[in-house]
């Protein structure tokens, strides 16, 4: 489990480094073009790209720290820094979107002259670079919330460049400068949506909610159906960091049963059926007076299955 986690972190760092290099190659040109062409759409996305670069640097730092082994009081190591980075990316996306909305409203009231041709050329080039950077991060983003935060930053750049290119084309064809801030509002809406998604997922991990693909009630019933198991309680399932679910539970088995054999059997069941390999099971003998009570298709005592 830890070898796979370390391998994923190494792949994450490679992908983030490549994406950062691609991002830096277009960011300076976009800032200059936005200032020269008086385009809020380009300047808004340039600011977004600046936060993207910071987000990628933070994600790289978090990934490097997460690879450090557990030591001292840090019994899980620094894995949660990845989730902290994802939450920080969500917050910066939201704040930047608010700034873009505020600036766009002012531009709608008092429109500026925009060089549509320059905006179109720079936005088209930026879109190509952002697509390449997004493709680099796409695979890793499915396994790491940290990388997903960086990916969403860059993916919104693709849309932002597309909107800026469209704005440049419309302005070039019609001379209607207000289309530039309108395109910025569209990008801001997308950024707010991405921000909300990142914050929801990272907060769920910080609050130690059970993973989306794991049902604690189903796990409890599966365990209690195992031969010799009388009761399962204090069942907790949570996510330490991306791709690292964990489980703990207190299991009571029949008097005379082999506790160690039962624990090994239950751990295998959890790994095979639910993909849970980081588990802590306390297995004890039930009191001789314990009686079994039917609970649906499972068998347990009256004590309910507890879970996070």
Three-state DSSP string of 64-115 = HHHCCCCECCECCCCCCHHHHHHHHHHHHHHHHHHHHHHHHHHHHHCCCCCC
Structure tokens, 6: 């370390």
Q: What is the pLDDT of residue 6?
A: 58
The structural domains of the chain, with segments of one domain joined by +, span: 2-206, 216-300
CATH 1.20.1510.10 fits 2-206, yes or no: yes
How far is C-alpha 47 from the chain's CA centre?
22
Q: Which of 35, 197, 49 is nearest to 130 (CA)?
A: 49
pLDDT tens-digit series, residues 143-194: 677 777 778 777 777 887 788 788 888 888 887 878 878 888 888 888 888 8
Structure tokens, 15: 């992908």
Q: What is the pLDDT of residue 303?
A: 42
From CA 242, how far away is CA 257, in angstroms rounded? Answer: 37
Structure tokens, 195: 């921000």
Q: What is the pLDDT of residue 111?
A: 77
216-300: which CATH topology?
GMP Synthetase; Chain A, domain 3 (3.30.300)
Structure tokens, 263: 């624990």
Please report the sign of the dihedral spanned by the C-alpha atoms of residue 151, residue 156, residue 157, residue 159: positive
Question: Do 187 and 44 form a contact (C-beta atoms < 8 A)?
Answer: yes
Backbone angles phi, psi at 277, to 5 degrees: -105, -15
CA atoms within 13 A on the CB side of 66: 33
Q: What is the pLDDT of residue 223?
A: 93
* pLDDT digit string (tens) for the chain, length 308 residues: 455 555 666 777 788 888 888 887 777 777 777 777 776 666 766 666 776 777 778 777 877 777 777 777 777 777 788 788 888 888 888 888 898 898 888 888 887 777 777 778 877 888 888 888 888 887 766 667 777 777 877 777 788 778 878 888 888 888 787 887 888 888 888 888 888 888 998 899 899 899 888 899 999 999 999 988 999 989 999 988 877 889 999 999 998 889 999 999 999 999 999 989 899 999 999 887 544 433 333 345 434 444 44
């Amino acid at each position: 489990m830890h070898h796979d986690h370390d391998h994923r972190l190494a792949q994450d760092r490679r992908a983030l480094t490549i994406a950062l290099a691609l991002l830096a190659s277009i960011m300076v040109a976009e800032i200059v073009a936005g200032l020269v062409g008086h385009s809020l759409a380009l300047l808004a996305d340039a600011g977004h790209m600046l936060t993207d670069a910071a987000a990628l640097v933070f994600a790289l730092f978090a990934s490097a720290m997460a690879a450090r082994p557990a030591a001292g009081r840090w019994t899980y190591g620094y894995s949660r820094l990845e989730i902290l980075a994802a939450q920080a990316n969500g917050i910066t996306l939201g704040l930047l979107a608010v700034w873009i909305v505020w600036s766009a409203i002012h531009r709608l009231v008092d429109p500026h002259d925009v060089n549509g041709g320059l905006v179109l050329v720079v936005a088209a080039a930026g879109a190509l670079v952002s697509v390449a950077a997004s493709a680099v991060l796409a695979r890793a983003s499915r396994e790491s919330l940290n990388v997903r935060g960086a990916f969403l930053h860059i993916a919104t750049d693709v849309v932002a460049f597309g909107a800026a290119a469209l704005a440049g084309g419309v302005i070039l064809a019609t001379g209607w400068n207000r289309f530039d801030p309108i395109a910025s509002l569209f990008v801001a809406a997308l950024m707010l949506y991405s921000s909300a998604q990142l914050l929801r997922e990272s907060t769920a991990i910080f609050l130690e909610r059970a993973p989306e693909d794991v049902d604690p009630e189903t796990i409890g019933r599966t365990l209690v159906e195992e031969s010799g198991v009388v009761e399962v309680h204090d069942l907790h399932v949570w996510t330490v960091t991306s791709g690292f679910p964990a489980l703990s539970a207190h299991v009571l088995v029949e008097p005379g049963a082999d506790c160690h054999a039962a624990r090994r059997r239950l751990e295998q069941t959890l790994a095979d059926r639910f993909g849970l390999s980081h588990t802590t099971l306390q297995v004890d003998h039930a009191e001789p007076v314990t009686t079994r009570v039917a609970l649906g298709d499972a068998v347990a005592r009256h004590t309910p299955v507890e879970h996070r």
